[in-house]
């Protein structure tokens, strides 16, 4: 296992998809009739090969060369453009898109795995397809037939790129404050305004860039209710599909960032010459509704960035720990003549590796399951099952986005610690993984916003129905596990689940009483609690399955004594894997899940010191009026 090159734990990915979630059994919908387990496995084998052999090796070069800006134009590294062409030619660009427009029609669950692989291999590279996917899907969902015909096929093939232009200098995440204006001009609009933090707002890897822009039509409602959505191509498109005149939309600067150096983050000027043409997507003043309808997939994509960074960092750190010799084995530390030991045998290193493995695999289970709910919410024919899947998707999306990106970053940080001084250098990839992963907790709605969404929207509406359904589902599984040999782990997990239930009830009760400030202060700690329980649930679910399969292997191989079982685990790959799944769940339940007790104590303390304090110089800042 290399410590420098990108590598993939394909065995765990396949276990989660096919043994635990059984996606080949749960996605038997008409839309996926051409796919079966063999097709899924062969496709993922090819994806792993592409990412490990082609995409991963250019990651450092893309980071060091970066995207460059001159004279309103962004130039991508040559390696990036070469691999992007190969990516499109190999058919990955339209992987999960509608076959009607040239896509391959794979489920979102499979696309989530592909995103993990591509993002782990090269995070900057992955962002161009991610943004193109989101913007093109908006056009397919809300555009006219002419717009779909004009844009979707070229975007699904990767020939054209796409962006989502929301943020403005004065607005940030407060989209009600955007000032970009769209003036009606017959069959189109003229846009004027500036957007910031636009990922791949300009680049030379695709022939055209299709911007999806939020703007206000004069005379519309105030606030977010007055926002509309427009398609604004870099080059106008002629009726025959060829490219026409250059539109009046230009990049005037790219940001110099901590990471993702070959993903240009652009400041975009629309209509600096008064000639920026845009075309309305859907109805006037429906822009926010349209964006939010697409938000689940976008936020799941960003959550996958956290998973990808964690997975790549863990695999690199493990490879390093297996090859790096330093110090003697802990049983011989008093013997100066003892041979040097690989650091993987040092207990503290093993603790760090287990922490990384546990977070990564718990997040993977939660994200893949959430993607499966997304597929079911789109394709289930049974109304009750469809509604349940939608409720689980809505509840878990903010948890996935925030928890995966926060914990993914911490896993990257731990990887650097495993490497020691070398991890802090550019000789090994983990320092780049950490820099590239950090952004995932900030964009697509910062994690504080995700916590507020979970608390105020997902828990606070429908009388708490979404959480009730989640809790009932998990408690049902727990009841079935109580007679299992892993019952002691189940009992510890049930205690944590009961604590989450109780804290949820208390927060909802406080919200009903108008205790808004305390609820908002508690939202982020609460989301971490939820993420810990969610990860533990999927780890434990996998461990129960793995334990049973391990017992079958023992029986089939005549391993009856402890010595025989240990020997089989050491010499049989499947036995070692299943044993590892049990150990990983055990570690998480005993070492990570107990943190929920302290989080619960924090929330229940009703401490309001953060609201009561008067920070230095705060007295000079006027308190906003209600």
550 found inside a domain: yes
pLDDT of residue 296: 82
Q: For 44-97, write each residue's pLDDT tens digit.
A: 999 999 999 999 999 999 999 999 999 999 999 999 999 999 999 999 999 999
pLDDT of residue 430: 97
Q: The whole model's pTM is what?
A: 0.96
342 found inside a domain: no
**Contact, 281 vs 138, CB < 8 A?**
yes
560 found inside a domain: yes
187 found inside a domain: no
CA atoms within 13 A on the CB side of 499: 23
Residues 6+ apart with CB under 8 A from 350: 344
With b meaning 16 or more CB within 10 Å and e meaning fewer, what string describes 504-522?
bebbbebbeeebeebbbbb
**Which DSSP string do the residues of 434-457 spell out, in sequence order?**
HHHHHGGGTSSS-HHHHHHIIIII
444 assigned to active site: yes
CA atoms within 13 A on the CB side of 401: 29
**Contact, 353 vs 419, CB < 8 A?**
no
341 found inside a domain: no
Residues 6+ apart with CB under 8 A from 445: 173, 295, 299, 401, 453
CA atoms within 13 A on the CB side of 195: 30
Calculate the CA 502 to chain-centre distance.
Answer: 28
The structural domain count of the chain equals 1
pLDDT of residue 173: 65
**Which DSSP string do the residues of 48-76 spell out, in sequence order?**
HHHIIIIIGGGHHHHHHH--EEETTEEE-
Strand 265-270 and strand 188-199: the pairing is antiparallel
φ, ψ for residue 296 (rounded to 5)? Answer: -60, -50
Between CA 87 and CA 83 the distance in angstroms is 6
pLDDT of residue 386: 97
Calculate the CA 1 to chain-centre distance.
Answer: 25
194 found inside a domain: no
Residues 6+ apart with CB under 8 A from 45: 10
493 found inside a domain: yes
pLDDT of residue 291: 85
Range of the domain at 549: 463-608
Number of neighbouring beta carbons within 10 Å of residue 158: 23
pLDDT of residue 626: 61
Query: 3-class SS at 492?
Result: helix
Angle made by CA atoms 547, 374, 448, in degrees to the nearest 5: 90
One of 168, 431, 444, 506 is an active-site residue; which one?
444
Between CA 132 and CA 142 the distance in angstroms is 16
Exposed / middle / buried, residue 460 (Cβ in 10 Å: 0-12, 13-18, 19+) = middle
245 found inside a domain: no
3-state secondary structure 329-382: CHHHCCCCCCCEEEHHHCHHHHHHHHHHHHHHHHHHHHHHHHHHHHHHHHHCCC
Positions in the chain short of pLDDT 70: 1-3, 172-175, 625-626
């Amino acid at each position: 296992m290399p410590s420098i090159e990108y590598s993939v734990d394909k065995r765990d990915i396949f276990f989660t998809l096919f043994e635990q979630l059984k996606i080949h059994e749960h996605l038997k919908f008409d839309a996926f009739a051409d796919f079966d387990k063999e097709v899924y496995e062969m496709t993922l084998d090819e994806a792993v090969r592409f990412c490990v052999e082609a995409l991963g090796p250019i990651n450092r070069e893309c980071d060091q060369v970066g995207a460059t800006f001159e004279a309103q134009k962004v130039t991508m590294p040559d390696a990036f453009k070469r691999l992007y062409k190969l990516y499109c030619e190999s058919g990955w660009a339209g992987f999960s898109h509608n076959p009607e427009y040239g896509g391959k029609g794979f489920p979102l669950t499979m696309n989530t795995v592909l995103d993990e692989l591509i993002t782990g291999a090269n995070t900057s590279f992955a962002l161009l397809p991610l943004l193109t996917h989101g913007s093109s899907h908006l056009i397919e969902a809300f555009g006219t037939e002419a717009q779909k015909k004009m844009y979707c096929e070229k975007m699904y093939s990767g020939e054209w790129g796409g962006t989502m232009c929301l943020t403005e200098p004065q607005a940030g995440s407060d989209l009600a404050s955007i000032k970009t204006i769209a003036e009606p001009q017959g069959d189109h609009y003229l846009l004027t305004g500036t957007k910031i933090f636009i990922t791949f707002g300009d680049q030379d890897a695709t022939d055209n860039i299709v911007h999806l822009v939020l703007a206000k039509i004069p005379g519309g409602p105030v606030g977010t209710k007055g926002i509309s959505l427009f398609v604004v191509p870099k080059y106008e498109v002629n009726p025959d599909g060829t490219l026409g005149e250059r539109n009046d939309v230009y990049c005037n600067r790219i940001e110099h960032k901590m990471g993702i150096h070959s993903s240009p983050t652009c400041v975009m000027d629309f209509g600096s010459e008064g000639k920026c043409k845009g075309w309305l997507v859907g109805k006037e003043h429906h822009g926010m509704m349209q964006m939010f309808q697409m938000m689940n997939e976008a936020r799941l994509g960003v959550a996958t960035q956290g998973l990808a960074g964690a997975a790549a960092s863990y695999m690199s750190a493990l490879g390093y720990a297996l090859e790096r010799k330093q110090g003697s084995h802990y049983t011989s530390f008093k013997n100066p003549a003892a041979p040097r030991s690989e650091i993987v045998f040092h207990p503290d290193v093993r603790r760090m590796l287990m922490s990384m493995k546990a977070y990564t695999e718990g997040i993977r289970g939660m994200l893949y399951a959430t993607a499966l709910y997304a597929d079911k919410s789109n394709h289930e024919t049974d109304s009750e099952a469809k509604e349940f899947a939608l409720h689980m998707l809505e509840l878990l999306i903010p948890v996935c986005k925030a928890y995966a990106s926060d914990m993914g970053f911490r896993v990257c940080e731990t990887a650097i610690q495993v490497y020691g001084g070398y991890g802090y250098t550019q000789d090994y990839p983990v320092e780049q993984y950490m820099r590239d992963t950090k952004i995932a907790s900030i964009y697509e709605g910062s994690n504080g916003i995700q916590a507020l969404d979970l608390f105020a929207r997902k828990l606070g509406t429908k009388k708490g129905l979404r959480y009730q359904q989640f809790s009932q589902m998990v408690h049902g599984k727990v009841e079935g596990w109580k007679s299992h040999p892993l019952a002691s782990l189940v009992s510890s997990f049930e205690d944590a689940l009961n604590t989450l239930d109780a804290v949820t009830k208390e927060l909802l009760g406080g919200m009903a009483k108008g205790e808004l400030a305390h609820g908002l202060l508690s939202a982020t700690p609460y989301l971490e609690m939820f993420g810990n329980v969610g990860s533990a649930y999927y780890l434990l679910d996998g461990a129960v399955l793995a334990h049973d399969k391990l017992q079958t292997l023992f029986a089939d191989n005549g391993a009856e004594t402890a010595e025989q079982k240990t020997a089989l685990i050491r010499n049989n790959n499947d036995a070692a894997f299943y044993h590892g799944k049990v150990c990983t769940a055990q570690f998480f339940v005993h070492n990570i899940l107990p943190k929920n007790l302290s989080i619960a104590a924090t929330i229940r303390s009703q401490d309001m010191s953060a609201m009561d304090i008067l920070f230095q110089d705060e007295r000079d800042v006027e308190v906003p009026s209600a």
